[in-house]
Structure formats: structure tokens, C-alpha cells
Structure 1
Amino acid sequence: MTTDSVPLESDPSGSDPSGSEPPGSEPPGSVPLIPHSVLFGNPTYLVPEISPDGTRLLYLAPDEGVLNVWTAPVDRPQEATVVTHDRGRGIRTYGLCHDDRTLFYLRDENGDESWRVHLVDLVSGEERCATPFDGVQARVLAHNRWHPTTLLIGLNRNRPQLHDVYALDLVTGGLTEVAENPGYLSWIIDTDLRVRGGTAMKPDGGVAVFLDPPQEQEQEQEQEQERHPEPDGAPPWLDVPYEDAVGTRVIGFSRDGATCYLLSSIGANASRLFEVDVATGRRTLLAEDPVHDVKQVEMDPVTRRPQAVLFAKDRDERVFLDEEFGKDIGRIRGELALRSVDGELYVDRTDRSGRLWTVSVVTGAGPVLYYVYDRSDGTLRYLFSHQTELERYRLARMEPFEFSARDGITVHGYVTWPPGAVRRGLPAVVNVHGGPWARHTFAFDEEAQLLANRGYACVQVNFRGSTGYGKHFRNLGAKQWGAAMQTDLLDAVGHLVAGGGIDASRVAIMGCSYGGYAALVGAAFTPDVFTCAIDLCGPSNLLTMLAAGAPYRTPLRSFMYAHVGDPQTERDMLWERSPLSRVDDIRIPVLVVQGANDVRVPQEEAEQIVAALAAKGLAHEYLLFPDEGHGLARPANRQTYYAAVERFLAEHLA
């Protein structure tokens, strides 16, 4: 690939409308191995979007082996040229401003999360760093069509634990402080880029939401203080109990600023969408599900009113609030059906005219497919897939399953079975998600594809504490690290063993972050269940984990204490739930992997468990990546890691 242009591919989804196997697939029993470079190298294309003026197509693609931003005329994507020149870990977050010439992207230093905002003038080609401050993390807070030359940025420049709000003038490059942080974990900003309030953690792990009334009401009250309430001053606009903290937040405002949209699980099991009159507090319920949380709200780009709500079920369920938007989604689905494409559909409407949308389709059994939808005539034009090389291989499809845990709670998850294999007595890998306040979803999952392609059943469990299934299920995970959250994983194994699908004597456990912790727990607490364990960036000692972390994570401390445990009052429990406390019980091989610049789970967490394993003479391997943080981003490092994973599993599991 040259740095001048990126060739685009034909539509694989339209090549065989009969639904037969795609080119390159093999009959059962002779599935070709997918190279690590295809699964874990750079994607071919990623995150396409239309420029606000509708003239350009932008996307991420490799340039000299590093992900950078490319741009092309929207009707001539084959003429793409690269416009950024990162030579480090690659760009993953970018956007084009509404001045129609300024591109911004974020970049840190070897995974240390010290994000800086970089700007590129697409007319002159000039590139500069807008936040050149050492040891300062920048967060892009807001930008929109009504303020095309202003970008609101959060910077912890004055106090490392708090981000103040700054306005970045795209014309002059000047930074002006807009609001000093009174203790907020996050800010609430309206479409006029006015700071309207924020959220603060309460000592018990709950949340206080502070919200100003509309501007005209403030003027009538003749307030002289800064235009946002203080957490220690006036009472909060909304007091969120501990059990509702994860499922309740303000997600935006209507264009006039008088109405805000609130996701809240207060008074219900799952998060619901409300329209709230800010001045009176009157709420109108717009969408709800008795069991499943709201996953995403799709807003009208002009009015900023909700048009559809996605609920997080085994597969997404979309509930429409706007008939015309529903018709457009229906047209897109109709076009995809003609091409025999079934998947989760997501739209991005960055074109100000509203005519051109970018569409992403996640089939779960192939690469992510990208299209451009022209609303004026209902046509759907294929762009490319995220990894064209994958189109040559037979991939597996994530399949939902559920089971009853030992206490009768229903737990959901997904299994990705080896394609073409008889589902009987297979080796399996329990692949645990991070967070843990997250979940597995129906998606293209590179790890699941690797494991299935190599002959393992990949088991992904949304154990208690996972999001999406309502607050009752989520809060069942409170202070259950290494306890009920872990036994849900064991019960999933038992369920699949009882069904005959997997071999009880050949089960591994692996994961990243919380998933890495769960892998270490599996090795230390239940070495009779698992054959081997793989830990990527997982804490080994909950006490040292809770005491560490970047300063700007300090406002999360009360939440962590409420959900994991309080070191002051529950020190013994936290130590007992730490894999390090039971290292003597480990008797299975362990692979420990760590990024040296991790600010969430510091290197000490890996070093102390590795030292303990070495002191006891226990079988282990240790990989330390000096240029990574929390997880692995560089393609070369990812390929090194997954080569080690494959070898480790083949040695101890196959």
C-alpha cells in the first residue's frame, strides 16, 4: 500500500445472493488457519464518516504500518490521500470540525492515557498540537454545527484529579478556561456549548447530578456566581442512589436547551429514557423495557430529539420514536436483505445536510461492513469491510446461550463454536470481559474468531455485575469479585459440560483487565476447573489496585469502594479475594502479560504475582510490553501476544 492512495474493494456481501459459503471457505473438517496478522494486525479500513459539508469521506487506514486518517472526495473514494502522519501507536479517535477544514485527533504516549489534542488544517496541511502540556490529559467534551470554530476540551492542567473546561478557538488556537471544576466526575453541556452542570460521586457510591435551569431563567434570578452549581452548595437536581448509579445519566439536550434527556433506572429495574423539562422537572417517559437497559439513543442531528432507542438484548432491539427515521432504517435493512446481509446496524449522520449517512453492519461472522446511504434516493453504496483479508476465510458466528446459576439467577452469554467441528467434547476457553461494568455483545470478536479457528469453543459469559440486564442483575455483582461473579463462570462451564459440548478436562480461562483478574482467580481459587490461565493487565491484589491509578481516577474511588470493597473496613475480605493471597494454591500454568505504562492496573499488579509464582517455583510465563498501557494497541505487540496465547493453549490445553 502506498501513502498516496488506498484501493477500495468490491462488495463481498453482494457477490453471492444465494447465501452459499463465501469465497475462500472450506468444507467442514478442513478450515484454513487465519493468520495472526489478519486478525490482530492493522485493519484495512476503520471508522468511516462523511465530512460535515458532505464533500469528503474520511476513514482510518494504515500508512507505513500505522493507522492514520485518510480523506477522499465522497464520490471518488479511490482518490484517497493520507492527511495525518502518526508513527507511534496509531490514531483511533478523530473527527472533522464544522468549520469544514479542521481535523482533530487524540494521541497519547505509549499507552499512558496522557491524551493530547492534535489539529490538522486540511486546506494548508498544517498540523499542530493544541494541548502541548506534559502530564496533562485532554478530553474532547463538545463540538457541534452551531459553533463551528469552537471545541470544548477538558484539561486536568490545574489539578491532576479534576478536568476543567476550556474553549479551544480553531481560528486563533487560543485556549480559554470556561469553567473550573468544583468536583465533577463528568460535565453536562448543552448544544450552545454552555456548561449546565455535572455529576459528582457521593461517599456511598451514588451520584449527585447538578443541572442549571435554562439561561433565561438564570438571568431572571440574577445569579452572580459561575454558571454551574457547586457540589457542596445547592442540593443536586437529581440524587441518584448507589444501586442506580450505573444506569442513570443525562445524555443530552434538545436544541433549545429547555429539555434534557435522561436515562434512569430509579423506580424501575432497567434504565428508561425520559424527556425532562429542565425548568419544571416534569418527566415524560419515552421508552422502556422491563428487563434490558437502554444501550444507545439515536438523536436527530438538527433538533437533538430522540428518534430511536436500542435495547441491549442478545441482539439489539430498536424501538422507533420517529416514523421517518424508522422508514430510513427499514430501507437500509431492505437493501441489506437483498444482499443476504444480516447484522447489527449502526448509522453515523455527520453530513449537515442529512443526505448522506455512513452505515456500519456487524454480522458477527465476518468483518464489519461499511456503506454510504443516500437518503435522497434510498440507495446503499458499499464502501469496504474493516479487514478485507478476512473475506477469504470461514469465520464462526457468536451464538447466545443462557443457564441458571447455582442460586437460580439466569445468566446470559455467547459461545463461538469452531466452524465445521462436531460440538462434542471440545476444548474450551472461558474468555472473560473487562470492566467489569460492561458486557459481551453480538459482534465481530477477534479473540473469539482466533480461538474458534484453532478448534476451541470460546465461552463468553455476562456474569452478574455485567451491564445491559437491569440494575438488579448488575448490583448482584457488588462486592462479589472472586465470589459470585466468579462462580457464574464456573456454572457456565458446568452447563456446557453437562450438555456435552465441551470437555471438562480441557478448559482454560483468559481475559483482560477484570477478565485478567478473573483468570488469576481461576488459577488460584479453582485450579481443578481450569487447565491453564492467561492474564492480560489484570490486578492480582485488590488492595494495591484500589490504592493506585492515575490522579484523575480519584473521583471514582467511592464507586470502586461500593462495588469492590472498602480498604478501610473490608481489608480482610479484599485480601481474601485477591489471587496473590492464594498463590500457594496455584498449580496450573499461568501466562501473565502487562503494559508498562498502564495507569489503570499498574505494572506492580503483574510484577507481584510473577514474583510470587517464581518464588514458589510455579509454572508461569511473563510478557512485559514497554510501549503499551491498559491493553495492547500496536499491531506488532498484539501479534506477539496472540502468538504466545496460541502456543500456550496448544501446549497446555490441546
Structure 2
Amino acid sequence: MKQKLSLFISMLFLVTIMTVPISAHAETAAKSFADVTEKHYASKEISKLAQMGIIEGGSDGLFHPDSEITRGVTALWLSKALKLKEPVSLKGFTDIPESSVYSYAVNSLKEKGIVEGDEGRFNPEAPLTREQMASLLVRAFKLKENGVNVWFKDESSIGESHYKDVVRLKQHLITDQLEYLPKSRVTRAQLVLFLNRAISQGETGKDEIPLSDFLRKSKTRGIQSSPDGKMTAYVEEFEGHLQIYVDQEGVEQDYRITNMKDRDIENFFWFNNERIVYTTSAHGLEDNHVHSVNPNGKEDKDLTPYDNIRADIMESLSYLPGHESDMLISINNRDRTVFDVQRLNVKTGKMELVAENPGNITEWLTDIYGEARLAVAKDGINTKILYRSSAQGKFESILDVKFGDSFKPIMFSFDETQIFALSDIGRNTLALVKYNLNTKSIGETVYENPEADVTDIVISYKKQAILAVKYETDKVHYHYLDKEFEQLNQAIAKKLPGEQFIITGNPLPESKVNLFVYSDRSPGVYYQYNRKDDTIKKVKDTMPWIQVDQLAEMKSVSYTARDGMTIRGYLTLPKNAGDKNLPFVILPHGGPWARDSWGYDKEVQILANRGYGVLQMNFRGSTGFGKALFNAGNKQWGQAMQNDITDGVNWLIKQGTADPKRIAIYGSSYGGYAALAGMTFTPDLYAAGIDFMGPSSLLTFLETMPPYWDKKKLYMQVGDPGVDKQMMEDYSPLLHVDRIKSPVMFAQGVNDPRVKKKESDQMVMAIRQRGIDAPYMIKEDEGHGFRGYENQLDFYTIMLKFLDTHLKK
């Protein structure tokens, strides 16, 4: 009788702990175990799961962390972690009677397909092996394939029935061991560690924003009004792909006019009131196609339906009599290595050759009547500006531009006697200048900024004038050339104090001015300003679920490199974390012929929200700050360019901002190379590295570049294998993996046209041969970067786990 009563009480206790909410156990089940000291490797996890009521000690009040755990106890813990309901049947296994303390747990797990028996037996007192644990956790927490290629030294000893599950466990970084020891028995403390990691999948801590909020595509972007103002088009996500929607006056609900499934919409514009033109690419191949569609969604047509080509829109010709349905594009369908100018009918798709590329032209420029009359041509490593006086004339060289200088034609003057261009000939920064076509010489300087390059201009075709010149130092600024435009911007600025804004579409409309407003903490909001009554209204928020006050501020900073050169960048510290001894991620930009800018950066905010400081820097070779900084990067991959990054890290450490033992380096494209170079050439500086599609060898990278890239120019900027082979070998991380001391994570798209998958493959294999772990995420449907939401979610989930493992342990 006493035995039956004892079993009844045991069953009652089991049912109770399985049905009471976990929050209740935080008070009633909190325990400290005398045999688990604070120094024990699983002390925090044991305390956490005990407080949650998932695990418990023995009748002696001790936990026995190093004792082997049985299959039955594992089932008890797992059922509590999953909060499983009472099973339908208690007769799932012949060796577990209904009165067994394991009965509810094991049968609940069986009904969920989590546990399996052997000829009807469960063997609850048998010890749990590590490969069995892997299968239980993978089934229980539904760990899916995420594209991470993993490696175990002892993978041949993993049982065939458990192999995929052991791989899943490492794919999700629940284990990061090089030797899994699949047949070894699991201790109670070990199971706690693994179970806690599995439970934590997808969890967000206090003040942490779910990754999905950062990665969801903008609800609305690219708002554009039709020429007559009666319709508005914008891009919005539908079933995983961006689609074009139209909002029409008098129609209650917006309607979708595209149905992309295998291609992504890159951009669009109103060709006229009856036609919208848009471009697409497939799976990261950068094979841009030009499409057109009616605003009602009819007559959707791919105008450039060729394989392995790239088409780029130059301009509309609809303003010209006889060409109301025509536009100009540059396309390499005749020869993959060069781009011709074609006149394209947006209704029929008919193309007519306007200017054939003789093989050396890299850019075309049309006059105000849409005639291709200016071209930029390669001349070895130098550049020539070619010009013809009429569309039927012969191109002649009017300006030689030496390597290291820049001359970038922007537009013909409205009287066609001059060209407006960005030039740094005879100066350091790009200035807006006039080139006189009669005297064949550079004339007046319209505007020059001594600190930064001019990047763009604002034009009014109605006024036939340049309204403002754009440049970027810490932020984007304008130098105004038109008083009306200046006053308009001042009036808008009063309505949006402290915000950055861009006027989209017509810069000087009579009444309604469309605006895109953004900041370092806001991904962007569309507004409309009414000039007539001086009012402003919000139109659409691109990501309304993002709360600005939860995000971190990005501050402009600068530091001095070891040779005295000033390096400008941006520092973002996690909110409410102070400014001392923080874990840090160094984030060099891609390109490298690009720059980091102030504004909302998804990656920066993800890292800051998870407690990491982030440093971005415009190292030499970056654009935007003059040719001295830019040209100082020539043939300096892994050398002075890398020193600028290293000097930034040391600057953080000297200030006490970064904890020197908790710094990682992460980058994409060139930034990926910089991450590998940092891990290779300064191995004591970083605790971990992440390479996203970065070159691993300067030699193999140049061998596989796209056919339309300028090889001679790259030889001057990166290195010439025929002249600089030794230097390129010296600074190729692939050839120096023996210097790497810390783990490196990799990610790569199979279809990448810029940095071939081989660059990552060969580096991963070389590192693994050294016995260093190298998790490697491969996505079959991606190119140079991950665009798909699920792929991005997989990447950032694993990236954060990787960083937490090596920077927060």
C-alpha cells in the first residue's frame, strides 16, 4: 500500500510540474547545489534551468554534475523544457509501465516524434550518448538545415542514423567542438549546457529587438508620383519578393502590378503616365534586365530577355518628338566584355544600336537631345575623354586623364557649349567644374570643398540650371547655387529639426514636395511638404515597427594612423552600456573603393542591440575624401590599408572603450578580405573573425573577375601578377593560414559573380587542415550578398551566436 501511495504521489508531482507555467518555478524551484560551485563550467546554466523548474537534483540535495545522465531523466528534463501536455496514451513502451515516473514524459515525447524505442523498449535507465542527445535536441527544437558546412575530426565514427542530427547541432552552434565524441556518455552538466543552448534558440534578451524586425523588408520604399500626379507607385514585399504597387486617385485600395517569383526588383521609374519601367536581377547574378508594365498591371514585358547579360538604364527619350516610347540603355548582349548604347522601345522591346563600343569605352554621356556624344575610354591605365560634335560625327580625344586623377563627366550644359564634370585634376578633392568644348580646356570651378569630394548635383530642367552641389563629410551637405531651392530646403529643415532629408523627384515643384527623411536610427520615412501653405505630413513609414528610441547613435570620429594620415569613421556604442571595456566588432567596408556614411545601418544596429560596440573606418583606398587618401590605397591590400584598420582598433583600446580580449573583425567583399587579413597578419588582436564573400588570395581573385571589369586598372590598384607576384603572395591570407590563432566564420553565395565561391572554399579547407574551426554558410540561391529574408535570418542568427561564443563567454 505504501509503495502504491508513493507511486501515486510521484505521478501527481510529475503531472503538477508538467502543467504549471514555467514562471511559477522561478520562485518555487530555485535551488543552489553544494556540489556546483561558481567556478564550475555549467554553474550559470544549472542555476538558470533549476530556477525554470526544468532540472532538479537528487534526494540528497546535490546535483551530481559529473554523473552520467540516463535516457529516462533526459526525457523528464526535455518534456519540462518543451512544456508538453499530458499524453493521450501511457502505453508507448513495454518497459515503461503507466506507474513509472518517466511515463508521462516519455510518452509525450513519443507522440511528438521526438523519442523512438528499440523493438518496443525505451531503456530508461540506459546512459545517454552524445549522438543520441543530438537527435533528441534536433527533433525537440526543430533545428533545420541552414546552409552551414561543418566539420568534425571524428565524423567517421558518428552513427549513420545520427549523423545529420549531429551536423544540425553544430550548424546551429549548439556545439562548436572539433571532436564530437559521438559514443561518449553525457553527464548531467553537459546535458544542461546543450539543453540551455537549444532552449535559447531564437530567444531575445531584455531590450533586445528580434532579428526579424531588422531583417523584414521595408514596408514601402521608392515612392514616386506619375507625371500627371494622379497615381503613386511604390515597392512593397509580397510573398517574399518585392513588388510594385500603384495608388490611384479615386480607387480605394492600392493594387499590385508585378508578380516577380524568380527575380528581384532593383528599381523603377515612371516612363510616362501609361508605362512604368523597372529593372530586375536573379539570385544575385547581377544580370540586370529591363522591364516595362502598364499602371494597371497589364502588358508586363521583359525588354531584354537575354541570358548572362547586364542592361543598365541611361535615360528616357520620351520628351523628344518621334521617340515618345523610347529610352537609352547600355547593354553587353553583343559582347559580354563591353557595353553598347541601344535605343529601346518600352512597348515593343525593339532595340536599335545607337553607339557601338569599339572595346575601350567604359562610360557614355548623352547631350540634352539624347544623342551619345561623349565617352570615357580606357587607354592602358590612363583614361581619355572622347567627344563628337554630332551624332553622326567621329569620336575624338579631347582630354587625357592620367592614372590617379579623375574626370567624371556629369552632363552637357543646356547650351551644349560646355560639360559639367567632377574633376580632381590639379587638386585633391573632386570639384564641380566646367569643361569648354570650344577651347577644349577645363574652365571655371563651380564649387570645391577642401575636405571632401563633390558627389552629385541637383538639376532643374525647368530652370535649366544646377540648383545645388552635394558633398559628404561627416554627413551629407549641400552648397546652394539657387536661392529659391535654398529657401525651400530651409523651410523644410524648420519642419524637420535635426533630421536628414532628400527631395525626391522634381526638386522644385509648384506645390507638393516629396521627401525621404532618415537618420542614424531611422531607416526612413516619406513625407510631403506643401509649399503653398507651409505644411508637412507623413506619407509612409518604410519600417514602422522600428522604434527609434531603442536604437544606438552613430557618431562621427577620427583618429591618426601610424604615418600621420587622418582616418575618419563612425563609432556606435550599445545603448545604456557605457563606454568602457566593451566587446567590439570592427566593421571595415566593402569595395574597397567606397566609403562608410552616417545613417541607418542594419548590421550596425543589430550588433549594437546585442551589446557590441561597432567601429567603421574609411581607410586609405576609400572614396569621398580626396585622391590623396584614395590613391594611398594602391597596391596596399593587407599593408597600409590594413594598418589603418589595426590603428583604429588600437585607438579604441587606448581609450579604454574596447576590451582588448573581446574584439572581432567582420566584413563583406573587400571587408571580408580585411577580416581574413586581420586574423592572419595581426592574430593576437582579434578573438574571432567573420568573412562574408571576401577574397582569400589576391592572385586567384584577379583570375576570376567578371569579363567587363577593367583588368589593367585593377592591376594598378591591387597588384599585377606579372610584376607583383611576391607581394601578392605575401598578403594573401590563404598562403599564411599558419598564423591564424582564432576561429573564423565564413559565408558565401554560390552564384557570386564578383568573388567566386572558390575564394571561400580554399580558405576554409586550409584553416581546417590547421585544426582550427571554420563554420561555413553556403547559400545556393544567392550571389554577392544574401538578399532572401530566410537566408539573412540564418546568417545573422549564426553570426551572433558565433560572436557570443567567442566574445561573451
**What amino acid sits opposite 2:751 in the alignment?**
N
* 1:284 and 2:444 aligned: yes
Question: CA separation in 2, counterparts of 1:71 and 1:582?
Answer: 55
Structure 2 residue 242 is the aligned partner of structure 1 residue 67 = yes
Tell me the TM-score normalised to structure 1 length. Answer: 0.88
Whether the 8 Å CA contact 2:266–2:281 is kept in 1: the answer is no
Encode CA deviations 1:366-415: one digit per residue, 9 max, x unaligned.
Answer: 23121123334443221122211102760111101111111111111001
Rounded to whole Å, the distance in 1 between the matches of 2:531 and 2:326 is 29
Contact 1:507 1:530 in 2 (8 A): yes
Q: Which amino acid aligns with 2:399?
A: L
Q: Distance in 1 between matches of 2:546 and 2:554?
A: 16
Among 786, 789, 795, the alignment partner of 1:632 is 786
Runs of 5+ consecutive residues of structure 1 not aligned to the other structure: 1-29, 219-225
Partner of residue 429, structure 2: 270
Q: What per-residue deviation string (whole Å, max 9, x for no partner) do you get for residues 412-457 of structure 1?
A: 1001110111111000000110111111111100011011100100
User: What are the equivalent positions in structure 2 for 1:27-426 lying under 5 Å apart?
Assistant: 32-73=207-248, 79-88=253-262, 90-97=264-271, 99-123=272-296, 125-143=298-316, 146-147=319-320, 148-182=324-358, 183-204=360-381, 206-213=382-389, 215=390, 226-227=392-393, 229=395, 234=396, 236-245=397-406, 248-281=407-440, 283-337=443-497, 342-350=498-506, 355-391=511-547, 394-426=550-582
Could you tell me how far 1:212 is from its partner in structure 2?
Answer: 2.3
- What is the Cα deviation at residue 351 of structure 1? 8.7
Deviation per residue, 1:117-136 (Å, 9 max, x gap)? 11112246221111111122
Contact 1:413–1:460 (Cα < 8 Å) also in 2: yes
Quote the offset at 1:353 in angstroms: 5.8
Q: Which residue does the alignment assign to 1:493?
A: 649
Structure 1 residue 331: Cα displacement: 1.1
For 1:292, the aligned partner's letter is A
Alpha-carbon separation, structure 2, partners of 1:374 and 1:227: 47
Against the structure 1 CA distance between its residues 313 and 200, is the aligned structure 2 distance closer, same or farther, given a 3 Å change threshold?
same
Q: Structure 1, residues 9-35: CA drift from partner, whole Å, max 9, x if none?
A: xxxxxxxxxxxxxxxxxxxxx962111
CA-to-partner distance for each residue in 1:468-518, whole Å, 9 max, x for gaps? 111111111111100011111111111111111111111100011100000
Alpha-carbon distance in 2 for matches of 1:355, 1:165:
37
1:559 paired with 2:559, answer: no
RMSD (Å), alpha carbons: 1.9
Shift of 1:357: 3.1
**CA 1:334–1:117 in structure 2 vs 1: closer, same or farther (change >3 Å)?**
same
Partner Cα separation in structure 2 for residue 144 and residue 336 of structure 1: 36
1:210-250 CA distances to partner (integer Å, 9 max, x unpaired)? 1223x4xx8xxxxxxx5451xxxx4x2221121113xx200
The 3-state SS of whatever aligns with 1:452 is: helix
Deviation at 1:352, TM superposition (A): 9.6
The answer for unaligned runs of 5 or more in structure 2 is 1-204
For 1:131, the aligned partner's letter is T
Q: Which amino acid aligns with 1:202?
A: D
Instruction: Say whether residues 1:643 and 2:804 are aligned partners.
Output: no
Contact 1:349/1:356 (<8 A) preserved: no
Q: Report how many residues are paired.
A: 599
Structure 1 counterpart of 2:484, one-letter code: E
Aligned residue runs from structure 1 range 539-550, under 5 A = 539-550=695-706
| CA distance in 2 between partners of 1:488 and 1:316 (Å) | 24
SS, match of residue 185 in structure 1: strand
Matched-pair contact (CA < 8 Å) for 1:506–1:530: yes
How far residue 84 of structure 1 moved from its aligned partner, in angstroms, is 1.1
Quote the residue 1:603 is aligned against.
Answer: 757
- Structure 1 range deviating more: 164-173 or 540-549: 164-173
One-letter amino acid of the structure 1 residue matched with residue 328 of structure 2: L
CA deviation profile, 1:586-608 (whole Å, cap 9, x unmatched)? 12111111111111111111111
Cα drift, residue 52 of structure 1? 2.2
Deviation at residue 458 of structure 1 after TM alignment: 0.6
Distance in 2 between residues matched to 1:487 and 1:124, nearest whole Å: 53
Is the Cα contact below 8 Å between 2:467 and 2:480 reproduced in 1? yes
Alpha-carbon offset, residue 201 of structure 1: 2.4
1:185-216 superposed Cα distances (whole Å, 9 cap, x missing partner): 11111231100121122322x32111223x4x
Distance 1:351 1:53 in 2: 16
- The answer to whether the 8 A contact 1:515-1:538 is kept is yes
Q: Is the 8 A contact 2:287 2:309 kept in 1?
A: yes
1:102 Cα deviation after fit: 1.3
Q: Secondary structure at the match of 2:629?
A: helix
Tell me: higher relative CO, structure 1 or 2? Use CA pairs within 8 A at least 6 residues apart. 1
Bigger mean CA deviation after superposition, 184-193 or 383-392: 383-392
CA distance in 1, matches of 2:741, 2:480: 53
The Cα shift of 1:627 comes to 0.7
Normalized against structure 2, the TM-score is what?
A: 0.72
Q: Using the alignment, how far apart are the partners of 1:352 and 1:145 within structure 2?
A: 21
> What does residue 167 of structure 2 align with?
none
Cα deviation, residue 89, structure 1: 5.2
Alpha-carbon separation, structure 2, partners of 1:368 and 1:610: 38
Contact 1:195 1:227 in 2 (8 A): no
**Identity between Structure 1 and Structure 2 (%):** 33
Partner of 1:26: none
CA deviation vs aligned residue, 1:601-644 (integer Å, no higher than 9, x gap): 11111111112122222211101111111111111111111111
CA 1:457–1:50 in structure 2 vs 1: closer, same or farther (change >3 Å)? same
Counterpart for residue 610 of structure 2: 454
In 2 relative to 1, CA 209–75 (structure 1 residues): closer, same or farther, beyond 3 Å? farther
Structure number, greater radius of gyration: 2
Q: Give 3-state SS (helix, strand or coil) of 2:266's partner.
A: coil
Q: Once structures 1 and 2 are overlaid, which stretch shifts more, 86-95 or 580-589?
A: 86-95
1:507 and 2:663 aligned: yes
The letter of the residue matching 1:468 is: G
Distance in 2, matches of 1:400 and 1:61, equals 32
* Distance in 2 (alpha carbons) for counterparts of 1:123 and 1:523: 54
Q: 2:692 aligns with which of 505, 529, 536?
A: 536
- Give secondary structure in 1 for the equivalent of 2:332: strand
Write the distance in 2 (CA, Å) between the matches of 1:465 and 1:551.
23
